Amino acid sequence: MVTKQTDDFASLDFLAGETLLIDKPPQWTSFKVVHTIRKAINVKRVGHTGTLDPLATGLLIILTGRNTKQMMNFEGLSKTYTGTFLLGKSSPSMDTETEVTNKDLPENLNDELIFKTRDMFLGGLEQIPPMYSALKVNGKKLYDLARKGKEVERKPRKVHIYRFEITRINIPEVHFDIKCSKGTYIRVIANDFGEKLGCGAVLSRLIRTEIGDISVEDALSVEEFVQKII
C-alpha cells in the first residue's frame, strides 16, 4: 500500500499488483484519475474501489494489475466524509453542479433545530438514489438520462449512518462529519436534510477522509504520484 510515509516506488510492481492511495482533486472524475494513473504506469488493469463525484475531493483507493481482483475486499468498507450543506437552496443534482434555486429560510431556523434534524438521520435509512448518479437502470446511467431531462423510477436502498456530527454552523452553511455504510449518497442526505427543515439544501463541499480505517492523510495527490513515476 503506497503512502506518503512509506512510498518506496523503486520496489513497486504495478503489473503484479499494487494498492495506491490517491487524493482526488476537485473537478476530476474518478475515471480521469484512473486513466491518468494507467497512462503513467503503463498498465492496462487499473481500477478504483468507489466513485467520487467530480465536485468531491478525497480518498480514492486505486488497484493495479492482479490487485484488481481484490476489489470486493474494499467495496463493503464504511466511508467517512466531511463537507458543507448550503441551506435555502435546491438543485436537480442536489449539489452545486447544476443550476441552484434559492429558497426562503424558515423564521424559526436555529442551531437547536438543526441538531434535532440531524438526529433523524442516525442509524438505518432508506435512500432513493439521485438521478444525477452513475447508477445504471436498464443498462443506462442515470446521469445520462437526467441530462436529457428524463426521470425514471429508482428503488430505495438501505444505508446506515454510523456517525453524523455537526462540526460548525454558520447559517446558511452547515458543516458536517459523517461516517456511513457503502452506497450512501451524501447529496441525498443534504437534500433530505433541507426538506425536513423546510428550506431545501444542497451539498456545496465534500471530502472523503476515510475508507474503513484507511485515511486520506496517507494519500498522494495525482501530481505527486505521477512525479514519482517519472
**CATH 3.30.2350.10 boundaries in the chain:** 9-76+213-229, 79-211
Task: Please give the pLDDT value at position 197.
Answer: 97
Distance of CA 127 to the CA centre of its chain: 15
Task: Please give the pLDDT value at position 7.
Answer: 58
Q: Which fold has domain 79-211?
A: Pseudouridine synthase (3.30.2350)
CA-to-CA distance for 115 and 117, rounded, in angstroms? 5
Active-site choice (23, 53, 95, 192): 53
Task: Please give the pLDDT value at position 142.
Answer: 83
Alpha-carbon distances, residue 105 vs 85, 97, 134, 158, 198 (angstroms): 14, 22, 31, 30, 8
Adjacent-strand bridge partners of 213: none
pLDDT digits (tens, 9 = 90+) for 170-225: 999 999 999 999 999 999 999 999 999 999 999 999 999 999 999 999 999 999 99
Class of domain 9-76+213-229: alpha beta
Task: Please give the pLDDT value at position 4.
Answer: 45
pLDDT under 50 in the chain at which residues?
Answer: 1-6
Task: Please give the pLDDT value at position 86.
Answer: 98
CA-to-CA distance for 1 and 61, rounded, in angstroms? 10
Task: Please give the pLDDT value at position 5.
Answer: 42
13 in catalytic set: no
